Every structure is written in C-alpha cells, then in structure tokens.
Copies of this chain bind each other. A is one copy, B any other.
Amino acid sequence: MSAAREESRVPGREPLTAPVEDYLKAIYAIGRGSGAAATNEIAQRLALAPASVSGMVRRLADQGLLAYERYHGVKLTESGRRAALRTLRRHRVIEAYLAEALGYPWDRVHEEAERLEHAASDELVDRMAATIGEPEVDPHGAPIPTKDGSVDETEYTSLADLAVGASGVVVRVADEDPEMLRYLGELSILPGKRITVKSRAPYDGPITLGSGRQEMSIGPALASHVLVAPLADRAGKRG
C-alpha cells in the first residue's frame, strides 16, 4: 500500500507542511551561517517539548532536509537551506506587504505572516513584492532573501555591544515580541535611526542613548535586540 507512495518520494518535490517549514526556519535562524542547532534550542524557539523535536528532526533528516547526528544537533543540508530561505522570503515579503499596502502596524505583521507564509503561493509572494517595489528588507529591517535563494548574512553589532561614545544606524530589530516593538516605536528606535551610546551603567545597568536632540535610557536586554551598523566615530567596539 505504501509502495506507490514510496516511489513518488523522488528527491524532494512534495510541498512541505507548515510545521516542517517552521522547523527549517528555526534551524536556519539558530545556525545561521554554519553552526549546528541544538535540540533544546529548536524546542525553545518553537515552544515544543524537546522530545517532539527529536522525533521531527529524524524525519527531516530522512527526507534529506538536514544532517543529524544523534546527541549532536542538526545542520541544514543544501536542500533544507533552500527550503528555509524560501519560507523566510515569504515571511518577510508578507510582512513588508502588510505594513506597506494594508497599513498594518509593525508589531502585528509577524504573527500574521507566521501563518500566511505557509499558505501563500510563490506567485502571490512575487506579486506582493512587485506591488510594493521589491523591498530589500522587511519592516523590522531583516533582509529579504531573493527568489534564487541568496540573502545578505552580514552580522551586525547590537546596541548592547556598542562602545560608549560610538554611534550607529539602526538596521534591524527583533520582530517577535509585539510589546517590545511598540515600545521601540515609542522611543522611535527604528531602522534608519542614528543613535549614539552616551553611557552605560555597570552590572548590566541602563544604557543611555542619544538620537538627535532626544536622550533616553534602555536596559541591556532590550539593547541586545537592536542591531546597528556602527559608524566610524570616536570610539570602537567593546567585547
């Protein structure tokens, strides 16, 4: 009864399910660039029990989407990476479209895109992208992978790692926590904004920032979710 089905399982042309796409995205995000993703880390990102991840990860490895060595985490294969980037492109184009064309506030696009990314066809995503002028980043500043599967993987410094006295332009903020996004919006810490670190209190204390004539103070947890492109300035980076 499963012979025919087995046969049709050529290499990998069946559409992936929503959970599978989410696993691949999570694994990509964790091991961005190269590193292996740990079971527990995947579980935490997806809010699943580690045991569930063990099971799924084995199936994904069987399908050739990732390389799995028991007890030692997983890495995307080329095919898995392609699938992850395809979903990531969908997600980010959708976010950009919702914000641009439908007036969605930036703190609510993520949740919507998290579901739509699995239902939208390539054609829809391409039309969305075309309609809003082929954006290169989503509303949170994350780069949108191209159709052929390339992305800008530049690693930026977080505001928590910028030295006192240094300046940077905000390029990207974490996009999953709506409340955080609303707060950043209030502070107008938005992609494109130029910010200078004025001071940093010891023992993970508040970081004082200047932006234009505005001054404000945020905690390191928040600062670590704001990525900046450092500007050549009077100071360097701190470890």
Contacts and interface: CB of A to CB of B under 8 A. Distances in A.
Interface in A89-147: 98, 101-104, 108, 112, 115-116, 118-121, 123-124, 127-128, 131
A204 to B, nearest CB: 37
Nearest to A127: B102
B121 A112 contact: yes
Copies of this chain in the oligomer: 2
A232 to B, nearest CB: 43
Contacts of A102: 124, 127-128, 131
Q: How large is the interface on A (under 10, 10 to 19, 20 to 34, 35 or more residues)?
A: 10 to 19
Given A119-B116, A121-B112, A101 B101 contact: yes
A203 B102 CA distance: 52
Contacts of A120: 112, 115-116
Contacts of A103: 127
A103 B124 CA distance: 10
A101 B112 CA distance: 19
A100 to B, nearest CB: 12
A202 to B, nearest CB: 44
A29 B184 CA distance: 47
Interface string A8-39: 00000000000000000000000000000000
Interface string A147-190: 00000000000000000000000000000000000000000000
Task: Report which residue of A103, A112, A119 has the largest number of chain B beta carbons within 10 angstroms of its beta carbon.
Answer: A119
22 contacts: A98-B124, A101-B101, A101-B131, A102-B124, A102-B127, A102-B128, A102-B131, A103-B127, A104-B127, A108-B123, A112-B120, A112-B121, A112-B123, A112-B124, A115-B119, A115-B120, A115-B121, A116-B116, A116-B119, A116-B120, A118-B119, A119-B119
